[in-house]
Amino acid sequence: SYVLTQPPSVSVAPGQTARIPCGGNNIGRKTVHWYQQKPGQAPALVVYDDSDRPSGIPERFSGSNSGNTATLTISSVEAGDEADYYCQLWDSSNDHWVFGGGTKLSVL
């Protein structure tokens, strides 16, 4: 089965840029989505199809995907961006949908 690897935590100062990686074998050949989950809340989609943003998501959120790593980038980080972030894709080899383990973003 396909495995997505995320670091457990990432820390960044307010106003700086946070980069959250999601590793997988040839992940650049797949389509990756990203979700934000704040404490006590349901997940919310922040980036889909590698780099597109749903309506209402700030331009500060962007995504890229190449080689063995997909990356969620959050520029000009704000305190309100503190959350868990999950990458996700479809594993066509067995028709399973897979989530990464999640990364906790802390704003120092």
Partner 1 sequence: EVQLVESGGGLVQPGGSLRLSCAASGFTFSSYWMTWVRQAPGKGLEWVANINQDGSEKYYVDSVKGRFTISRDNAKNSVYLQMNSLRVEDTAVYYCARVRGGRSPYDDAFNIWGQGTMVTVSS
Positions that interact with partner 1 (CB under 8 A): 1, 30-31, 33, 35, 37, 42-45, 48-49, 54, 84, 86, 88-90, 92, 95-102
Q: Cβ closer to partner 1: 35 or 77?
A: 35
Tell me the Ramachandran region of residue 90: left when phi exceeds 0, alpha when psi lies from -120 to 50, beta otherwise: beta
Shortest Cβ 16–partner 1 spacing (Å) = 25
Amino acid identity at 36: Q
User: Of the candidates 4, 7, 20, 17, which has an alpha carbon nearest to the alpha carbon of residue 68?
Assistant: 4
Shortest Cβ 6–partner 1 spacing (Å) = 9
Q: Cβ closer to partner 1: 14 or 97?
A: 97
CA dihedral 47, 50, 51, 56 (to 10 degrees): -20
